[in-house]
């Protein structure tokens, strides 16, 4: 059959010729800046990017965490492929400095992952405006601040990927985390808006909504607790997820494999949203 531009003609029409195409998930030559990249899901995404050939700048407010993560990654990867920066997404100068350092130290910038976040658990009646504003400033305004900072760079090269980390709470109500759920729901709106406005500049913006993945942010709320029991009993796969299982979606969205995906939020939840009444029983719950 005739081959042209990575495609071949079969009885079913033109199809992608995988035998001559490059690895769809290869990120070689790409540079990523990850906020909240020193711990949890952000750290797992950083590792996955490194595994697929990208250079990565680890950003976090806690410099000690950044240094520890960079030191660990430097043992396993090319030392020239990983670096760290103190990054506070609520501060304009900190954001600008992090973007500039990424470009100057790693040679460019093609991918941004907005993973920085905090949790606030308290009854909604006790929420103060400060609580809500603080979460919005980090999750929403912080993500917007980073995205605005990189937009001219991405537009000038007609190539850029923005990934916003949303949450299962973007879709469903969870008691006593109202400020967090509101911020993560707004993250989906931000994702759609950037995708709509900036695609003409070669910028794709998508989101990832993790289900229940124990991290330093939430594990005290869900591991071994009644709340966690109820979550698992509504999860067909009958377990929590892992940060590594979330990271694969970030690789997909950043690579050629996801080159026509724009404005979507991918849910990775073990079937939680699909569950009405299921058969799952939490591991620490006696089945009677």
Both structure tokens of 275 = 């569950």
Q: Is the pLDDT of residue 112 over 90?
A: yes
Average pLDDT value for residue range 252-271: 98
Average pLDDT value for residue range 147-159: 98
The beta strands (E) that lie in the chain are given as 3-4, 7-10, 13-16, 31-35, 55-60, 82-86, 111-114, 160-165, 203-210, 265-268
Q: Is the pLDDT of residue 4 over 80?
A: no
Angstrom distance (rounded) from CA 218 to CA 202: 35
Average pLDDT value for residue range 137-164: 98
The structure tokens 């029409």 sit at 13
Give the pLDDT confidence score for residue 139 in this predicted structure.
97
Q: Which residues pair with 84 in a beta bridge?
A: 58
Average pLDDT value for residue range 148-170: 97
Lowest mean pLDDT among 188-197, 229-238, 279-288: 279-288
Q: Confidence class of residue 11 from pLDDT cuts 50, 70 and 90? A: very low
What domains appear along the chain, each with residue ranges and CATH number? Answer: 31-271 (3.40.50.720)
Sequence-distant (≥ 6) Cβ neighbours of residue 74 within 8 angstroms: 82
Sequence-distant (≥ 6) Cβ neighbours of residue 150 within 8 angstroms: 33, 99, 109, 112, 160, 162
| 180 is known as an active-site residue | yes
Give the pLDDT confidence score for residue 7 in this predicted structure.
45
Give the pLDDT confidence score for residue 9 in this predicted structure.
44
Of 77, 130, 136, 180, the active-site residue reads 180
Average pLDDT value for residue range 202-214: 96
Average pLDDT value for residue range 36-46: 97
Residues 99/77, Cβ–Cβ less than 8 Å: no
Q: Is the pLDDT of residue 10 over 70?
A: no
Angstrom distance (rounded) from CA 195 to CA 160: 11
Angstrom distance (rounded) from CA 116 to CA 210: 14
Give the pLDDT confidence score for residue 204 in this predicted structure.
98
Average pLDDT value for residue range 74-93: 97
Q: Is the pLDDT of residue 175 over 70?
A: yes
Q: Confidence class of residue 284 from pLDDT cuts 50, 70 and 90? A: low
Give the pLDDT confidence score for residue 286 in this predicted structure.
56
Average pLDDT value for residue range 92-98: 98
Q: Comparing 288 with 95, which gets the higher pLDDT?
A: 95
The structure tokens 């993973």 sit at 115
Based on C-alpha coordinates, what's the Rg of the chain? 20
The pLDDT > 70 percentage for the chain reads 91
């Amino acid at each position: 059959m005739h081959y042209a531009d990575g495609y071949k003609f079969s009885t079913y029409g033109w199809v992608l010729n995988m035998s001559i195409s490059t690895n769809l998930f290869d990120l070689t030559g790409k540079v990523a800046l990850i906020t909240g990249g020193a711990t949890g899901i952000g750290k797992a995404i950083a590792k996955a990017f490194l595994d697929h050939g990208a250079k990565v700048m680890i950003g976090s407010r806690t410099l000690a965490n950044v240094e520890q993560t960079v030191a660990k990654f430097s043992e396993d990867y090319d030392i020239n492929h990983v670096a760290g920066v103190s990054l506070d997404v609520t501060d304009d100068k900190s954001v600008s400095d992090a973007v500039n350092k990424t470009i100057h130290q790693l040679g460019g910038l093609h991918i941004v992952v907005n993973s920085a976040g905090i949790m606030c658990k308290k009854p909604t009646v006790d929420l103060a405006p400060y609580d809500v504003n603080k979460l919005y400033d980090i999750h929403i305004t912080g993500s917007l601040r980073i995205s605005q900072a990189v937009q001219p760079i991405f537009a000038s090269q007609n190539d850029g990927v923005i990934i916003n980390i949303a949450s299962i709470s973007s879709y469903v109500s969870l008691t006593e985390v109202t400020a967090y759920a509101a911020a993560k729901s707004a993250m989906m709106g931000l994702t759609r808006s950037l995708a709509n406005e900036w695609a003409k500049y070669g910028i794709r913006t998508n989101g990832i909504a993790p289900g229940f993945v124990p991290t330093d942010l939430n594990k005290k709320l869900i591991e071994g607790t009644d709340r966690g029991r109820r979550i698992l009993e509504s999860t067909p796969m009958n377990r929590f997820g892992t940060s590594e299982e979330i990271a694969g979606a970030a690789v997909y969205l950043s690579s050629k494999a996801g080159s026509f995906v724009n404005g979507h939020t991918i849910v990775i939840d073990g079937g939680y949203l699909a569950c009405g009444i299921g058969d799952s029983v939490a591991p620490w719950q006696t089945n009677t």
